[in-house]
Chain A
Amino acid sequence: MSLPNDVELTRPQYVGATVTRREDPRLLSGEGNYVADIKRHGMLHIAFRRSDQAHALIHKIDIGEVLSLPGVIGVYTGKDIAEIAKPYKATSRMKNYQATYIPPLAIDKVRYVGEAVVAVVAESRYIAEDALGLIEVEYRPLPVLVDPEKALEPEAPKLHEQLGSNVLAEREFARGEVAEVFVNAPVTVGGRFHFTRTTPVTLETRAAVAEYDKGAKSLTLHSTTQIPGIVRDKLSEIFDLPGPRVRVIAPDVGGGFGGKTSLYSEEIVASAISRALGKPIKWVSDRMEDLMTTGHAFDEVVYADIAVTKDGEIVGLKADVIGDVGAYSIYPWTATIEPVQVVSFMPGPYRIENYAARVRAVATNKTLTGAYRGVGRPISVFVMDRLLDMAARKIGMDPAEIRRRNLVNDDEFPYKAASGLVWDKSAFQSCLREARDKIGYEELRREQNLARAEGRWVGVGIASYAELTGVGSRIAVAPGMPINTGTETCNVAIDSTGAVTASFGIASQGQGMETTLAQVVAQELGVKLEDVEIILGDTAAVSHSTGTYASRGAVFGGGAGTLAAQAVREKIIRVAGHLLEAAEEDIEVGDGNVWVKGTDSKMTIRDLARALYSNMGSVPKEMRDEIDNLEATKVYDPFFGTTTAATHMCLVEVDPETYNAKIKKYIVVEDCGKVINPMIANGQAHGGVAQGIGVALMEEVIHDDTGQVLTASLVDYVVPSAVEVPSMDVMHVEAELPGTIGGFRGLGEGGTIGAPACIANAISDALSPLGVEIMELPATPERLFRLIEAAKSL
């Protein structure tokens, strides 16, 4: 009996297949394990008294009779915590950057509403909250800064007295002859764009359970974090504990979207108190805390202009970005993470030789901003693609056509963008082309004209963008930060029972990485999908990892997983060569078996593992000394990273009386390289677009003049429901695979990057007869009402 010649046939192609998710059964049946589900013997709960002042000196904290309330165990202020946890800050080598210390609990001064001031430890969350009400905090108010453009002014009061100004970071650069092209350009358009502040709203609020083991002098923190490795490294420093004695675990996590990519005060306070009391400490954020304290998103004003020729060719771009970064520079990403990306990505996928930009990150009395799905790019695409539409309108060109003329062509890659980023070859033009074809662009325009004739306000929107994903060690995710975001580690091990485990430092917050990484490892190793255990989000699993953010999971995890699996496979082949008495070139591995090509000489990998580990004598000592084990740890560094490109198109109708914008059609065409699991990739696009719709139409964190957060519940911070999100079409073009291992490009953020611009363009198109341009999001009915009323009264 002989095996088929085409051995590939016997090796299932897991990569590229729609495989149902292995995490689903537990999540569908309530058997998942989220941080809030954790219970420990003797566990205590903490709740925080948070500042109701945006900017004030803490004059006095009076805890009154709190400690006599039954069930209350302790009360901690900023000074108490400072004695047991070192302060920390987000440093960076970037020029013109000023770091700020972040006290886990405010000391002497509060800088935003929601900042934690006092922590109460009690036997239950109910009692802890009872206690909070009994504490009196006396403040001496200071002038409040809510407007970043005012906070910029030299005479503005300072949030951090030791710093020279409220400008935490500043960068300026120019390429080409910007001033000159603007003087000579036949057509220029521009204006002031405003992308308001939003917040991630993961369905699971942030939570932490800290357990300090006095005997072992070790700390275990279960956290809803996306970055267990970064949290571990910093906690080890803050508590002076060696790495092995700090373990950070992210179990099932209910969504991240970037909001859980920062180190949070509560993680430190819970750990500090657990260490002080020797008891497990649990903190689960309520929704109000979550809306007020989880890293906010965006919040930029951008003054931008482009110059184009009469043929629609972009000849110059100028941008001045003012980012409102809130009260502190967030750890680890720094205050640069969001605003600097705005200028870096502003030219987008377009050919722009002359570009000048300035960006300033300004501290205000608001919640810190951090990373949120898309980081910087949703606004850079909003500005750039709005400018393109405005230019197209001015020269009378179709918006799809102006994009076609300016998108980098296939033969121009690798293309160095004016901001210095390098795009590897990606399907810029074909995404646009496919999107046009798929949505039936010409037909849509005809429909639009008919609708207009009936007095309906219908508009077509387009947005094209490129994102750098899987960014390796060449470029830090945030400029100058002293953390390596350019590598990830995977350990693949076959143990003495023959079981396969692939361990990663990255964590999953719903992206299905237990499934997709198993697909990659199973395929590369040659075992059955169901036979690969995946361990994620545990700092004990690998020596170094930063986590899941910046659309890096597939590129880094897939890459490191491939390398480690291949290394183990090589070991398997060596051992099999000996056991099956064949040349290594003749050994094939697949489906959990090894065999000699063209023969029926075959054994299971399980038996092979037993032979190596347990049945002394079956593998000679020299070989065992050389091979050691069926295990390999590999680090992958994609160095430059790779480009993911997409075009979104949509059809929007604005009710000419209520001014409500309704999305009637939506299509995404993206090039994310080799798709590991199409079902999961589509889900990522759907979810990303849904969040982009929220950003475009309804989501906004609103502060009043005194810095109070007015959107402190999900009644007032409105995220879309199933009714406001349309059905959409998602298409993947796998044009030419990039040079990353496996040909993977990152995805996950994309939907949110393209949708705000696409929808803003569609609404502007719908309202073009009135001359209304959307320069600010979200385009709520209220905003449209004001814009339309103003336009009508002209």
Chain B
Amino acid sequence: MKPALFDYIRVTTVDDAIRALGSCNDAKVIAGGQSLVPMLNFRMVDTPLFVDINGIDDLRGITETSNGGLRIGALTRHFELEVSPLIQERYPLLHEAMKYVAHLAIRNRGTIGGSISHADPAAELPALAVLLDAMIVARGPRGERQIAAVDFFEAPLTTSLEADEIVTAVELPPLPENSGWGFEEFAQRHGDFAVVGVAALVGKYGARISVFGAHNTPLRAREAEKAFGSGDTNAAAEALQSEVDPSDDLHGSADYRRHLAGVLCKRALNNAMSGYAL
């Protein structure tokens, strides 16, 4: 199918983007288009105006922050994350996760800002944002604000972003020192959205666990983290299974997803623990 008619405007500054968004009800940002255009082609969205932000140079690039973390511009493509030496060195699990995101041609276009704003509960980047205590940097007519990732994702494809705000960057605080990590994802066909995935960090602080594809948002699994204590993967997996509230779809029933959440949680934690022990 082909998209319905819409208007389109290309901007080169964030201010222009915000102005354009404010100029028209239901206007939307288009970044990589890798989630939007499929929906346009199915005529599933009825958006009068698209504001193309690909020309905003300020939204590109990965830079180090003063606290030792990274600031990732919203327009950073998935492929740039995949090959960034900074990411590989500081957030090896993010580097690992990128291999599971779609396929090269889609990673060449898709952006971190788009993935975060799209808020697919089965997507990798939102789950990692939640795991890594990322701050989502947003700007709107009322200025800039930072939203903790755990507060950002509200429901499937729904975030706490206002209609006239755009995501400008994702800021990652440094990983706690001496962390082991694990990343596990299951999909029947390579590159598809996960049926379920689990990302975990383990350190002297205990565990951090986040799960995707098993809840209506990416979930920071606090109960499972608590149950993990100082190393009980089985307890963590069990807690996770009661903490998630998956739904049924064609790729997996709620029961199967819950089952997978437990399995992958154990695997991710075990990997994280062996990394930590090293």
Q: Are B189 and A658 in contact (CB under 8 A)?
A: no
Given A126-B2, A133-B4, A133-B43, A724:B189 Cβ within 8 A: yes
Contacts of A698 in B (CB 8 A): 188-189
Contact pick for B256, options A697, A724, A785, CB 8 Å: A785
Residue B173 is within 8 A (CB to CB) of chain A in the complex: no
Residue A657 is within 8 A (CB to CB) of chain B in the complex: yes
Q: Are A782 and B190 in contact (CB under 8 A)?
A: no
Q: Are B1 and A720 in contact (CB under 8 A)?
A: no
Given A723-B189, A723-B190, A724-B189, A702:B250 Cβ within 8 A: yes
Q: Are A288 and B42 in contact (CB under 8 A)?
A: yes
State how many angstroms separate the Cβ of A729 from the closest Cβ of chain B. 23
Residues 104-145 of A, flagged 1 when their CB comes within 8 A of B and 0 if not, give: 000000000000000000000110011001000000000000
Give the CA-CA distance A148 to B124 in the complex, in Å.
Answer: 41
- On chain A, the number of residues with a Cβ less than 8 Å from chain B's Cβ atoms is 29
Q: Are A125 and B2 in contact (CB under 8 A)?
A: yes
Residue A510 is within 8 A (CB to CB) of chain B in the complex: no
* Segment with Cβ contacts to B, from A331-339, A439-447, A619-627, A710-718: A710-718
Contacts of A286 in B (CB 8 A): 1
From DSSP, what is the main secondary structure of chain A's interface residues? loop
Q: Are A660 and B188 in contact (CB under 8 A)?
A: yes
Residues 703-734 of A, flagged 1 when their CB comes within 8 A of B and 0 if not, give: 00000001101011010110110000000000
Q: Are A660 and B189 in contact (CB under 8 A)?
A: no
Give the CA-CA distance A129 to B4 in the complex, in Å.
Answer: 8
Chain A contacts with B in 767-785, Cβ cutoff 8 A: 780-782, 785
Contacts of B256 in A (CB 8 A): 781-782, 785-786
Residues 250-264 of B, flagged 1 when their CB comes within 8 A of A and 0 if not, give: 111101100110011
Give the CA-CA distance A658 to B250 in the complex, in Å.
Answer: 16
Give the CA-CA distance A710 to B250 in the complex, in Å.
Answer: 8
Contacts of A697 in B (CB 8 A): 188
Q: Are B253 and A782 in contact (CB under 8 A)?
A: yes
Residue B192 is within 8 A (CB to CB) of chain A in the complex: yes
Residue B191 is within 8 A (CB to CB) of chain A in the complex: yes
Residue B228 is within 8 A (CB to CB) of chain A in the complex: no
Chain B contacts with A in 159-213, Cβ cutoff 8 A: 186, 188-192, 195
Contact pick for B263, options A657, A721, A782, CB 8 Å: A657
Given A288-B42, A711-B250, A724:B263 Cβ within 8 A: no
Chain A contacts with B in 656-678, Cβ cutoff 8 A: 657-658, 660
Contacts of B263 in A (CB 8 A): 657-658
Give the CA-CA distance A720 to B192 in the complex, in Å.
Answer: 11
Residue B157 is within 8 A (CB to CB) of chain A in the complex: no
State how many angstroms separate the Cβ of B213 from the closest Cβ of chain A. 13
Contacts of A716 in B (CB 8 A): 250-251
Most buried by A among B3, B5, B191, B256: B256
Give the CA-CA distance A657 to B5 in the complex, in Å.
Answer: 47
State how many angstroms separate the Cβ of B240 from the closest Cβ of chain A. 14
Residue on B nearest A784 in the bound complex, by CB: B256
Q: List 11 A-B contacts (CB under 8 A).
A: A129-B2, A129-B4, A286-B1, A657-B263, A658-B186, A658-B260, A698-B189, A711-B250, A716-B250, A724-B188, A786-B256
Chain A residues in the interface with B (C-beta under 8 A): 125-126, 129-130, 133, 286, 288, 657-658, 660, 697-698, 702, 710-711, 713, 715-716, 718, 720-721, 723-724, 780-782, 785-786, 789
Known pairs A657-B267, A658-B263, A713-B42; list 7 more (Cβ under 8 Å): A133-B4, A660-B188, A720-B189, A721-B190, A724-B189, A782-B253, A785-B255
Q: Which 5 A-B pairs have the closest CB atoms?
A: A723-B190, A657-B263, A126-B2, A785-B256, A286-B1
